[in-house]
Amino acid sequence: MSASTGNIAVPVARVMPWVAVWGAVFVCSWGGNQFSPLLLMYEERAHYSSLLVNVFLGVYVLGLAPALLVAGSLSDRHGRRPLMLVGIASAVVGSGLLAFGPLGAGFLMAGRLCSGITVGIAMAVGNSWVKELSQGRFDPSADAGSGARRASLAFTLGSATGALVAGLIAQWGPIPEVLPFLVHIAVALPFAVVVWRTPETNRTGGLPGPWWKQLAVPSAGHRRFTRVVLVAAPWIFGSAAIGYGYLPTKLAGATGAWGLVFATAATVVALGVSSAVQPLAARVTSLVSARGLLTAVALTTAGIAVVVVAIELQSVVVGLVSNVVIGLGIGLALVSSLLEVQRIAGSRDLAGLTGVFYAAAYAGFLAPAVIALVANVVAVPVILWVVVGLGVLSWVAVLVSSRKYLQA
């Protein structure tokens, strides 16, 4: 394609359609994770309790899980574009409510709920759209794993950017309780136009019959999905929430005035490592042996164990190391899981099955709130060592099941 200026033909670069949706998933993920490094700020400046602060982190799962399950299935019936437009709108509303956070905890709760809806739509619908735009006539040069790698990279880079921008503004910028969210609104709004102009890929109409029949997601009952993918899923974001959500609040004494910087660094390190390892995940991933998921569960479990050591030693360096290990696990788990999902899903329920997977994965974000609640009667290191033990049991379960259910 070229544009003519006088007698000179000037080539015009054509942006691949998947890039547009990649950007939409990026800004939605930004909105979902910009809150994570601010937990310490709300605890110290707004004087919220540790339990309430961790509830802020986890409450968006209440918006996220229904969005993952419903939006994905609805997009399998009605198309990707309408649902992604709702996701962009929810991102703007969510950040707007969070910007009113200084007026009370209710705004923070409502904002986090909307952020959950945003991320749920982006993960179920956006990821499926990226996958579909990374094949066939939309991108003939892409290989079979391109969609999974691109989708997971959009999530991790968006999450890391949101945390970095919010954390830096909170530490050194003006009106830290408001400005990070206004910046996100300014970035997210243009993507409504971008999404509107992106080609629709799903015109199958989903499953026949009433619309709620689509919510069943037939592939969700597949044994490899239930016995392998779903067992590994909660460790993805459970480890993330513990590593860069919960840990900074437990190292407040060691970090002092630099607490927000550490919280931001922990988040960016975990998600940055996750992004960096994803291009290499294809070498580790095996759909036959579930080698990628086994390695991921081992790494996330080991990362939580290092978190315990960091808390015991009150060590910032060990805390950062724990997030490096967790980041490696997250990156491998996301790519491996999405490849499994794309192989298992039927032609009419890809977004629905993607939503079910992410709903299970994001359930892990409730871990800090549960830990904070139980910590009233049990020492935090003891709780975390129990979590590590559960991780080991999950690893064994994935190993056994992946050998028994070899084929998708």
Find all residues with CB under 8 Å of 406, minimum gap 6, and list them. 288
pLDDT at res. 6: 44
Task: Specify the pTM.
Answer: 0.79
pLDDT at res. 1: 41
Nearest to 60 by CA among 94, 26, 85: 94
Cα separation, 265 vs 71, in Å, equals 33
- H or E stretch covering 2: strand 2-5
Tell me whether residue 73 is in a domain: yes
Question: pLDDT, tens digit, for every residue of 288-312?
Answer: 678 889 999 999 999 999 999 999 9
Tell me whether residue 8 is in a domain: no
Tell me whether residue 11 is in a domain: no
User: What's the CATH number where 188 sits?
Assistant: 1.20.1250.20
Question: pLDDT, tens digit, for every residue of 118-146?
Answer: 998 998 899 888 888 988 788 888 777 78
Local structure of 207: helix, strand or coil: coil
pLDDT at res. 10: 36
- Let me know if 100 is exposed, middle or buried by CB neighbors in 10 A (0-12, 13-18, 19+): middle
Query: In this structure, how many other beta carbons lie within 10 angstroms of the beta carbon of residue 1?
Result: 6
Tell me whether residue 5 is in a domain: no
Mean pLDDT of the 195-205 span: 80
Tell me whether residue 7 is in a domain: no
Mean pLDDT of the 22-34 span: 93
Provide the domain limits for residue 140. Answer: 16-195+222-404
- Let me know if 390 is exposed, middle or buried by CB neighbors in 10 A (0-12, 13-18, 19+): middle
Tell me whether residue 4 is in a domain: no
Cα separation, 167 vs 244, in Å, equals 12
Tell me whether residue 6 is in a domain: no
Mean pLDDT of the 378-404 span: 92
Question: pLDDT, tens digit, for every residue of 166-187?
Answer: 999 988 889 989 999 999 999 9
Tell me whether residue 227 is in a domain: yes
Domain tally, the chain: 1
Question: For residue 310, how many C-alpha atoms fall within 13 Å in the half-sphere facing its CB?
Answer: 31
* Lookup result for tokens 């790698």: 149
Bigger pLDDT: 268 or 283? 268
Question: What is the sign, positive or negative, of the torsion defined by CA atoms of 342, 343, 349, 354?
Answer: negative
pLDDT at res. 149: 82
User: Can you state the percent helix, strand and coil of the chain, rounding each to 5?
Assistant: 80, 0, 20
